[in-house]
Amino acid sequence: MPFEGKLYRPWIEAESELIQVTLGCSNNTCTFCSMFIDKRFTRKKLEEIFADIDALRARNPHVESIFLIDGNVMVLKTEFLLKVLEKINATFPEIQNIALYSCLNDFRRKSLDELKALRAAGVTKAYAGLESGDPFVLDRVKKRMTPQEAIEGMELAKAAGIEVLLSFIFGLGGRNGSEQHIKETTDLLNILKPEEIAPMALAIQPGTVLEQEVKSGEFVMPTALQVLEEEKYLLENLGYFRHYYWGDHGNNLARMRGWMPEARAAFLDHAKERIAAYETSGDEELVTYAW
């Protein structure tokens, strides 16, 4: 199938087939992100999407999981999305999961009836970037979302029965704002209670506004110990709501995943071990890698 531009999908969806529905990201202003800086957000033509679905059927006799790309597929008009989902279900009667990227604000822009219709048509999970719970950080990175809007979006997702995986970034508050960033983020997560959480350590992406801010000294990178202390604080203070913790991103300094709160004690022990190792080595520099 012909895909346009660079492709991104969550590492969690590594086994899912991809269908390209949009090009780029409808937000595309986040200062830390370079995923779609080379694309202008647009919707693919329905006939092109249908052709890709047919091509996937021709080469794969059994498809249970599909991830819709590019960014923020949920932002599209519900009527259009329902046509795509109807085609997927008709073509793959064995389908079990259909997931996509979304902003929490995309939920707010739809009615509950629309979201329920999307769930009934097969949307099982949405991947949304929270990034931070600190209003100052959200504004600085140009997320174009407030904590209150995040709460409203999550309430609609839950009411519709669509599971949400929320990702956020350890270290996004920088060296001086680390404590505030993780405290506000943890507090907001305890309100949102997502079904899945995926924290990632900050990585500076080439060509981003944040890269320029680091070079100019406007943004001071956190230390590795600060990032580990953020994860320790998160694990100590997350509420006792059941969720899956995807803490095994390649850039994370303490990699672990499993069901919470059952794994809390083991995860905390691992985080403390990593903190002790960094304290012993004296290596404070945060070393992560571009996507």
Q: Contact 49/19 with Cβ under 8 angstroms? A: yes
pLDDT the model gives residue 283: 62
pLDDT of residue 188: 98
42-43 and 22-23 strand pairing: antiparallel
Beta bridge partners of 196: 165, 244
Q: What class has domain 11-281?
A: alpha beta
Nearest to 157 by CA among 199, 210, 100, 228: 100
- Whether pLDDT at 1 is above 80: no
Dist. CA 170–CA 131, nearest whole Å: 8
Tens of pLDDT, residues 82-121:
999 999 999 999 999 999 999 999 999 999 999 999 999 9
Of 84-98, 142-156, 277-291, the least confident:
277-291
Q: Alpha-carbon distance 108 to 155, whole Å?
A: 9
Q: Are 284 and 229 in contact (CB under 8 A)?
A: no
**At CA 79, angle to CA 74 and CA 85, rounded to 5?**
70
Nearest-angstrom CA–CA distance, 166 and 243: 11
Residues in the chain: 291
Under DSSP, the state recorded for 173 is: T
Confidence of residue 256 (pLDDT cuts 50, 70, 90): very high
Whether the pLDDT of residue 39 is over 90: the answer is no
pLDDT value at position 290? 87
Helix, strand, coil % over all residues of the chain, rounded to 5: 40, 20, 40
Measured CA to CA, the distance from residue 219 to residue 211 in angstroms comes to 9
Taking the CA atoms of 116, 103, 194 and 263 in sequence, report the sign of the dihedral they define.
positive
Tell me the mean pLDDT in the region 233-237.
Answer: 98
- What lies within 8 Å, CB to CB, of 90 at 6+ separation is none
pLDDT class of 282 with cuts at 50, 70, 90: low
Query: Per-residue pLDDT for 5 more than 90?
Result: no
Which of the four pLDDT bands, split at 50, 70 and 90, describes residue 58? very high
Average pLDDT estimate for 28-45? 92
Q: What is the pTM of this model?
A: 0.95
